[in-house]
């Protein structure tokens, strides 16, 4: 595994008034790594991600994402990352093709590159027959895979995925993870949150947040050994219950 660091976080903190949502978190993510960012609802994951993708200014601490500073270079960060959340960013009443072209345009790709990229994505997802159909009519699983592909339309160095796989069937969920594996294999760094503990196992390393702090960080095997647990589910419950 290459050891170049693509996300570097040091004592990053976010306060809302008296409430500390993210409390001095510190970790590194390496290039091409699949990094699982876990935590209970309300543990501070979303706040942390928003700081990393340049949407929320930290109260304290430091972080560089794709080599750019989260205080001063948020626009640079946005150009170098992709983001997909459970609430899709796709336009339901635009077609598959139009959605890809739209995002290509937003990210400032030249017209030729957009056409090439659009064809590539449609081909890769096997959506040739549905390229002109509006996205609203696609099954959920297709939307998720398309949303992932669109998040990578500008060849970002890192893709952030916030609970990407909620509600889909086991086959679709696995197809989605195979896309993630493939991207990581091609050197894209994946930063992912999930409530599925078996998906946590697919990550190279994971961190678990509890009440704004990172309480555990390591490979799934390391964490299971450390907490004498058979499953990640068990590790998670032990930690979150304190």
Q: Considering the complex, what minimum distance in angstroms separates the CB of residue 40 from other proteins?
A: 4
Residue 228 found at the interface with other proteins (CB under 8 A): no
> In this chain, which of 114, 147, 184, 192 binds other proteins, going by CB under 8 A?
184
User: Cα(228)–Cα(5) distance, rounded to whole angstroms?
Assistant: 30
> In this chain, which of 60, 169, 222, 226 binds other proteins, going by CB under 8 A?
169
User: Cα(189)–Cα(25) distance, rounded to whole angstroms?
Assistant: 19
- Residue tagged 């599925």 (tokens): 196
Instruction: Give one word for 176, left, alpha or beta, with left for phi > 0 and alpha for psi -120 to 50.
Output: alpha
The H-or-E segment that residue 236 falls in is helix 232-241
User: Cα(80)–Cα(6) distance, rounded to whole angstroms?
Assistant: 11
Q: Considering the complex, what minimum distance in angstroms separates the CB of residue 229 from other proteins?
A: 12
The H-or-E segment that residue 208 falls in is strand 205-210
Q: Are 65 and 49 in contact (CB under 8 A)?
A: no
Residue 88 found at the interface with other proteins (CB under 8 A): no
Looking at the Cβ atoms of 38 and 127, the one nearer to other proteins is 38
> In this chain, which of 35, 142, 177, 191 binds other proteins, going by CB under 8 A?
177
Residue 202 found at the interface with other proteins (CB under 8 A): yes
Looking at the Cβ atoms of 129 and 171, the one nearer to other proteins is 171
User: Cα(211)–Cα(216) distance, rounded to whole angstroms?
Assistant: 12
Tally Cβ neighbours within 10 Å of residue 130.
18
User: Cα(58)–Cα(71) distance, rounded to whole angstroms?
Assistant: 7
For other proteins, how many residues bind (rule: CB under 8 A)? 38
Residue 156 found at the interface with other proteins (CB under 8 A): no
> In this chain, which of 108, 123, 181, 187 binds other proteins, going by CB under 8 A?
181
- Residue 112 C-beta-side C-alpha neighbours within 13 Å: 0
User: Cα(147)–Cα(130) distance, rounded to whole angstroms?
Assistant: 15
Using a 10 angstrom Cβ sphere, with 0-12 exposed, 13-18 middle and 19 or more buried, the burial of residue 211 is: middle
> In this chain, which of 70, 163, 192, 212 binds other proteins, going by CB under 8 A?
163
Q: Considering the complex, what minimum distance in angstroms separates the CB of residue 218 from other proteins?
A: 13
Here's the x/- map for other proteins, 12-41, by CB under 8 A: it reads as: ---------------------------xxx
Residue 135 found at the interface with other proteins (CB under 8 A): no
Residue 129 found at the interface with other proteins (CB under 8 A): no
Give me the residues that bind other proteins (CB under 8 A), please: 39-43, 86, 139-140, 163, 166-172, 174, 177-178, 181-182, 184-185, 195-198, 201-202, 220-221, 231-233, 236-237, 240-241
């Amino acid at each position: 595994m290459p050891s170049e660091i693509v996300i570097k976080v040091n004592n990053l903190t976010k306060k809302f008034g008296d409430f500390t949502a993210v409390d001095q978190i510190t970790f590194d993510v390496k290039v091409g790594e699949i990094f699982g960012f876990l935590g209970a609802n309300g543990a501070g994951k979303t706040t942390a991600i928003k700081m990393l993708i340049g949407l929320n200014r930290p109260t304290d601490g430091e972080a560089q994402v794709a080599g750019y500073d989260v205080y001063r270079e948020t626009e640079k960060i946005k150009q170098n990352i992709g983001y997909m959340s459970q609430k899709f960013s796709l336009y339901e009443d635009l077609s598959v093709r139009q959605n890809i072209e739209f995002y290509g345009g937003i990210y400032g790709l030249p017209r030729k590159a957009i056409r090439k990229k659009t064809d590539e994505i449609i081909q890769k997802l096997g959506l040739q027959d549905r390229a002109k159909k509006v996205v609203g009519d696609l099954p959920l699983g297709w939307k998720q895979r398309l949303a992932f592909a669109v998040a990578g339309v500008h060849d970002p160095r890192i893709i952030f995925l916030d609970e990407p796989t909620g509600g889909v069937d086991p086959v679709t969920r696995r197809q989605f993870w195979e896309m993630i594996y493939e991207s990581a294999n091609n050197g894209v760094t994946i930063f992912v949150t999930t409530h599925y503990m078996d998906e946590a196992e697919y990550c190279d390393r994971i961190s678990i947040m509890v009440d704004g702090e990172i309480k555990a960080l390591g490979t799934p095997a390391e964490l299971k050994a450390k907490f004498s647990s058979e499953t990640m589910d068990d590790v998670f419950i032990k930690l979150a219950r304190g």
